[in-house]
Amino acid sequence: MKIAFISMDPKGAPLRGAGYVAASIPSEHEVVFYCMMNPISDVKYTTLPKLISDEKYDIVMVSTMTTLYSDALRLIKDIKAIKDVPVLMGGVHPMVVGPKLLEGNTNIDYLCTGEGETFVKDFLNNYGKDSLFEINNLAYTKDGKVYSNPLNPPEDLSTLPLFPLHLFYRPVNPGGIMPITATRGCPYSCTYCCNSTFLKMYGKRYVRYRPVEHVIDELKYLRNKYVFKLFNFGDDMILTDIDYIEELFTLLKSELNVPYGCMARAESINERSVELFQKTGCRHVGLGVECGDEKFRRKYLNRFVSNDQIRKAFKLLREANIRTVAFNMIGWPFGDDDKLTKITADFNKEINPDFVQVTWFYPFPGTKLYDYCVENDLIDKSKSLLSYHAESTLKMYKNKKSFFKSHGRR
């Protein structure tokens, strides 16, 4: 079969989920990968529908997140207006919304409701057969009724293929930072994060670690094929198991000697983890502050880290000359947001990160705060699928980012 795989990302970034699923497609199929504004193909949205039709694909696979779902629907509609090619949709948004996404969306023929690596192989192996409609993770519409099959267990991360960076970049030095994944899942249920939905779907099994030797093999492969200044671990909770990261980062230093960065929760930053960072070449750590009001975080965000823990984490990292990034949100759907924003800005001045990131609160489907916003009619539907970097999707807010000034480099 000839397959068009479309990753909905306007920045053309190497998205780990879409990449691993595309790499899992059996080799007997011909796959052409499109990442919107991908530097490989330089394909624009307006030219893709005709290109899909001219190339005579047997099926179109679309991976999308929530903020780009409306663009994905528009793209699929325009493709089908030219040629009625079957469409399979997957990605984070179909996972959190589930089979109800098919209600009224007749242009989506098949939906992947869980992780995609095993599913995409099952789907293609059974495509065109009655057995297709028995595979796990599949939702579909038949005779006007939506059907949804059971979920597969969470993927065994030891079976992941090598990450196909060639789908996103030409085989030359792209420079800069290479995103890496060593784990999947997070054991916490913050009220603004989709992870709570995944925990409901899979339970504690959702938190997994790739074998250290597999991660190192993949890094060697990428290092030999490309040249990067830094690897960046974008995992939600890579520091949950200190013994795991001690083995991983120590091997990263001894076998590749490429610097790296990572994200963490302030609770996991202590003398042992910071000493490990220093020894193994960690350049930066990103930490979620979200809101500087500790009581607000506990009551509304289900985050129980204290301000003292956050202060200590930034202090330890600063003393170790490891750069820090503070992640913050503004525009919460309740309370005095002007006051909360000022408290958060003042707290950032106190902890003194090297870089400050500020995004608008975004009501992601599948989260408790999304349900709260829907119940209280707070979402401006004309803006509900904007990027959370642009402006608030809630009815009551104008831009408040003027409270924050970038700290820049120390």
Cα(62)–Cα(27) distance, rounded to whole angstroms? 19
If you average pLDDT over residues 42-70, what whole number do you get? 83
Q: What is the pLDDT of residue 132?
A: 97
User: What is the pTM for the complete model shown?
Assistant: 0.90
Report the range of poorest mean pLDDT among 110-119, 199-208, 266-275. Answer: 199-208
DSSP assignments along 93-124, one per residue? HHHHHGGGGGTT-TT--EEE-S-SHHHHHHHH
Residues whose CB is less than 8 angstroms from the CB of residue 332 and which lie 6 or more positions away in sequence, other chains included: 291, 296, 300, 340, 361
Question: Domains in the chain, ordered, with CATH?
Answer: 2-148 (3.40.50.280), 172-403 (3.20.20.70)
Task: Tell whether the model's pLDDT for residue 170 goes beyond 60.
Answer: no
Tokens of 158: 């030891």
Q: Encode pLDDT of 137-160 as tens digits.
A: 999 999 999 999 999 999 999 999
- Summary mean pLDDT of the chain: 89
**CA separation, residue 398 to residues 262, 346, 379 (Å):** 32, 20, 14
In this predicted structure, which of 171-180, 216-225, 340-349 has the lowest mean pLDDT?
A: 171-180
| Overall average pLDDT of the 49-66 stretch | 89
Q: Among 49-58, 257-266, 394-403, which stretch is predicted with the lowest mean pLDDT?
A: 394-403
The DSSP annotation for 126-178 comes to HTTSGGGGGSTTEEEEETTEEEEPPPPPPP-GGGPPPP-GGGTS-SS---SEE
pLDDT score recorded for residue 68: 85
- Based on its alpha-carbon atoms, the radius of gyration of the chain, rounded to whole angstroms, reads 22
More confidently predicted of 166 and 172 = 166
338 Cβ neighbours under 8 A, 6+ residues apart:
400
Q: What is the mean predicted confidence (pLDDT) over 358-370?
A: 93
Write out pLDDT tens, residues 127-136: 999 999 999 9
